Structure 1
Amino acid sequence: MPNEANFLDITLLGKEYRVACPPDERAALLNAAAYVDGKMRDIAEKTKSNHAERIAVMAALNIAHEHLSGNQYVPAEDQKIESEIGLDIDAVRRRICHMETELEAVLKPAG
């Protein structure tokens, strides 16, 4: 493909997908794919279903509900970290986002 850099291969529930993605959005898309994959795996495990389309629809509905209601999904490994060391993962994520924004502003070339 001529614009290979504008595509990214992601894996959802064990199946690979090639999606269009600007180079500066790769990390965000990988994070989104990991989030969706986690939701899909949780649903597949809970429902004992192997119908990818049904799992994808349920994941989409759950993610939309979380977004619209303001509830945030916390992966099991994050819940374990939070309970073991008393760390608020959401607060850490917010702080990291804030630091990234500050770094981008400082590193952004003037002009």
Structure 2
Amino acid sequence: MATRTIIDLTDDLDGTPAQHTVRFSLEDTVYEIDLNSANRDKLTRALAPFAAAARQVRGGGTAPEAVRTETPVDPRAVREWARARGLDIPAKKRVPSHVVEEFRAAGN
């Protein structure tokens, strides 16, 4: 039996399903918030005048973490799925990206 891990993003403001994780910084604190499209647009509009007047800071600090654009998959589920289809994938190393893409394309 395959195990499937599902991650649901929930809007941190109103509890509805979220589509975006937004990262921003205020003073020396970095924040991350999950928002639906409407609330992300509200935040963007609210910050726009401040961003337009501000200086963009490049380098010198730590780079922000990459924001994941796709829901992560359970590597065990991908391996089980791949083996059931006769694909030879490593047992311990990272699952090849083309196998993960096929797994997702199959509706998993």
TM range (shorter): under 0.3
* Higher relative contact order, chain-length normalized (CA < 8 Å, sep 6+): 2
TM-score of the two chains, using structure 1 as the length reference: 0.25
TM-score of the two chains, using structure 2 as the length reference: 0.26
Larger Rg: 2
